Chains A and B, each alone.
Chain A
Amino acid sequence: MRFGPLLAAEFRKTATLPAAWAGVAVALLGSAGITVLNAISARAAIAAGHPELRAFTSVFQTGYAAAPLGTVGAIVIGVVAIGSEYTSNNADAGGGRQVTTTLAAIPHRTGLLAAKALTVVLLAVTTAALTIPACVGIAALVIGDATRETVTLDEALTRSLGAALYWTLMGLIAFAVTVVTRSGMFPLIALIANSSLVSVSLLLTRLTPLAFWLPDMAGRRLFGGLSTVEGGLDAGAGAIVMAAWTLALLATAATVFSRRDA
């Protein structure tokens, strides 16, 4: 089987799924909403003559501050890319799951999984490429030239790539976990809660420094310039550890997927 048509089919399949668009929308609209709030607060602080009340008032920093929450969108994309295969159709319509069609069309399972993982990467990177500039743009519109930009263009680019890498890796981790669970519910709830509400890994660092090696804690400094808890790995080493987790989970997923009955 050739990889080109396979990737085209899988990309099309995920990209035309309304649930995948929900993921893109969560990242884009959620981050944009937070940026609006942050930017209004920053402008108010500047206008009141107390910019020191905010962690930062620069346009880039304000727009970029929403990036960690955008991870939720990448998680949704990763989960639905494979979870949708296992969703049963309505009983009235005969039930059945898409995965039977998929595996009949593409019996080479490792290749199939690779095409799906690459689809997640493409969608996560595209979402980041839309979201981060959009948020910085919103911050620029709201704050205007009331503040001096403290982040250089090079630095802004590096930080944006860091955020895009974090999103992509989290999307792939969500994907790998969902391959194993065959249902999107558990990974969606657990990973979204961990990324947005209560970080279990963060709490674990209070118990043992080993928790700094968990994927989300290891990679958190990829969001350059944003305040985070002390300790743990720096951005480079953290990125490598997070990527290693991702690869290990993908390898596990591929092994399970290849051996399991559909």
Chain B
Amino acid sequence: MLVIEQLVKRRGGRTVLDRVGFAARPGRVTAFLGPNGAGKSSTLRILLGLDRADGGRALVDGRPYRSLRDPLRAVGSMLEGSGAHRSRTARNHLAWVARSNAIPSRRIDEVLHQVGLAGEARVRAGRYSLGMGQRLGLAAALLGEPPALVLDEPVNGLDPDGMRLVRGLLRGHADGGGTVLLSSHLMSEVAGVADDLVIIDAGRVVAAGTLTEVTAGHESLEDAFFALIGGNGETR
């Protein structure tokens, strides 16, 4: 379970996260929704130990990410696309990632197949398309067979085929008892796969609950989303 509690983050005098709190539970796909700049990536970066919070905490099964031993076996993550150096091939990138967390190297081929990159395993990441980069990022996230997945805008730039693949993958992961937390600014991509929603706007959580709860009284998720962020937190 991923738990975010009262997170506060300030950057240059601006409060980018204002007491953000929610949980992503096992067996469910939790979508973290909000417009660009609302604080989605900032929250995920703190959860993954990349950035420090000015207040509050983020825990993975009760522990801060930075204290995890072989963290990729607990949480698979994708931020900033492929996360590979441009001169590396997919295989080379996954090889050092696997070694860093003592993940058996057979997993490299397995995940390359899983995300449909087996044919491009020897292409350098700098020559990848946006969608291929996303697939490589996803492959790295799956490498350690982690119970939890944290993905920042995972369907961004994917072709319809890729989107379907990702949705299937995330659904399968949650149905197998895993935890999935994904962020997105695109409603339509999320509506089909999410069980729970957390909506953030201007650094504050404006709604959280199951898909049905959050969309109650609205025609669609999109309507609910705009009604919620339009009120800037007042409609909660």
Cβ-based interface call for A54 (8 A): no
Question: Do A100 and B126 touch (CB < 8 A)?
Answer: no
CB-defined contacts of B127 to chain A, threshold 8 Å: 90, 93
Q: Is the interface of A mostly helix, strand, loop or mixed?
A: helix
Question: Do B132 and A93 touch (CB < 8 A)?
Answer: yes
* A17, A92, A108, A261: the one within 8 Å of B66 (CB): A108
Inter-chain contact count A-B, CB under 8 Å? 121
Q: Mark B42-54, 1 if CB is under 8 A from A, else 0.
A: 0001001111100
* B52, B68, B101, B125: the one within 8 Å of A93 (CB): B125
Question: Do B84 and A107 touch (CB < 8 A)?
Answer: no
Closest Cβ neighbor of B96 among chain A residues: A13
Given contacts A93-B86, A98-B83, A101-B84, contact A107 B100 (CB under 8 A): no
Task: Return B205 CB to nearest CB of chain A, in Å.
Answer: 22
Question: Do A92 and B129 touch (CB < 8 A)?
Answer: yes
CB-defined contacts of A93 to chain B, threshold 8 Å: 81-82, 86, 125-130, 132-133
Question: Do A84 and B51 touch (CB < 8 A)?
Answer: no
Cβ-based interface call for A89 (8 A): yes
- B68, B75, B100 — which one has the most chain A CB atoms within 10 A of its CB? B100
Given contacts A89-B126, A93-B129, contact A9 B82 (CB under 8 A): no
Q: How far is the CA of A106 from the CA of B70 in the complex (A)?
A: 8
User: Which of B17-25, B28-36, B87-95, B181-189 participates in binding chain A?
Assistant: B87-95
Question: Do A104 and B72 touch (CB < 8 A)?
Answer: yes
A interface residue count range (under 10 / 10 to 19 / 20 to 34 / 35 or more): 35 or more
Q: Mark A1-12, 1 if CB is under 8 A from B, else 0.
A: 110011011101
Question: Do A107 and B49 touch (CB < 8 A)?
Answer: yes
Cβ-based interface call for B69 (8 A): yes
- A2, A92, A94, A98 — which one has the most chain B CB atoms within 10 A of its CB? A94
Chain A residues 157 to 204 lying within 8 A of chain B, measured CB to CB, are none
Question: Do B71 and A105 touch (CB < 8 A)?
Answer: yes
Q: Mark B131-162, 1 if CB is under 8 A from A, else 0.
A: 01110010010000000000000001100000
Task: Return B5 CB to nearest CB of chain A, in Å.
Answer: 19
Question: Do A8 and B87 touch (CB < 8 A)?
Answer: no
Given contacts A90-B86, A94-B81, contact A101 B97 (CB under 8 A): yes
Given contacts A5-B99, A9-B96, A9-B99, contact A95 B87 (CB under 8 A): no
Cβ-based interface call for A262 (8 A): yes
Cβ-based interface call for A228 (8 A): no
What are 7 A-B pairs with beta-carbon distances under 8 A?
A5-B100, A10-B100, A84-B85, A96-B79, A104-B79, A108-B66, A262-B51
A residues bordering B, Cβ < 8 Å?
1-2, 5-6, 8-10, 12-13, 16-19, 84-85, 87, 89-90, 92-98, 100-101, 103-108, 259, 261-262
Given contacts A84-B85, A107-B49, list 4 more A-B pairs with CB under 8 A.
A93-B127, A96-B83, A100-B50, A262-B45
